[in-house]
Amino acid sequence: MGCLKMSQSDQHRNLAIQVVKALESRYPLMSFIADVQQKPGDPVPPVIDGFHPDVYATQKSGSSIVIAEAKTDGDLDNKHTNNQVVSFVNYLERRRNGFFFLSVTGCGANRAKTLLRFVCQVTHVTSTAIGVFDGCDFWSLDSRNRATWHLS
């Protein structure tokens, strides 16, 4: 029996739904909005520097923000993705208590980690927690030197 091939948009939607479910269990006190509307009129994440993140969440007090972006393997290495990630991380840096996650398939996890390490170096991230969700596990970038990854 062969594997079902999904279109890039179906893969993206599944990654976004998967990360929302994982983040909701990880951060139960936050209110999540995902860019995967079930029906017309469902809320969408805010536009940030011209980009809609796939997931946006706030704590009721507004003190913490989570942004997650889902990327398929074919959409991980391009200028648009880099610009999105930089915009979202800079947005969170201005708020001083944020979390950014890149949701990818297991195959794309190492490329996602490399991209995020690079973004942290060029944007001088100091207060935003950076992570990768590979469909099973959350990986966090070391908050001090931003050089190593660990399961979180």
Q: Can you tell me the mean pLDDT for 23-49? A: 88
Q: Which CATH architecture has domain 8-34+45-151?
A: 3-Layer(aba) Sandwich (3.40)
Contact (CB, 8 A) for 33 and 63: no
Domain boundaries, the chain: 8-34+45-151
Q: Measured between alpha carbons, how far is 83 from 95 in angstroms, rounded to an integer?
A: 19
Write out pLDDT tens, residues 79-93: 999 999 999 999 999
Contact (CB, 8 A) for 58 and 65: yes
**Which amino acid is it at 37?**
Q
Give residue for tokens 């969440």. Answer: 57
Is a pLDDT exceeding 50 seen at residue 54? yes
CB atoms within 10 A of CB 15: 24
Residue 33 tokens, joined: 């909005």
Which of the pair, 148 or 143, is modelled with greater confidence?
Answer: 148
Entry pTM: 0.90
pLDDT band for 6, please (50, 70, 90 cuts).
low
Contact (CB, 8 A) for 92 and 100: yes
Kindly tell me the sign of the dihedral angle through the C-alpha atoms of 33, 108, 119, 117: positive
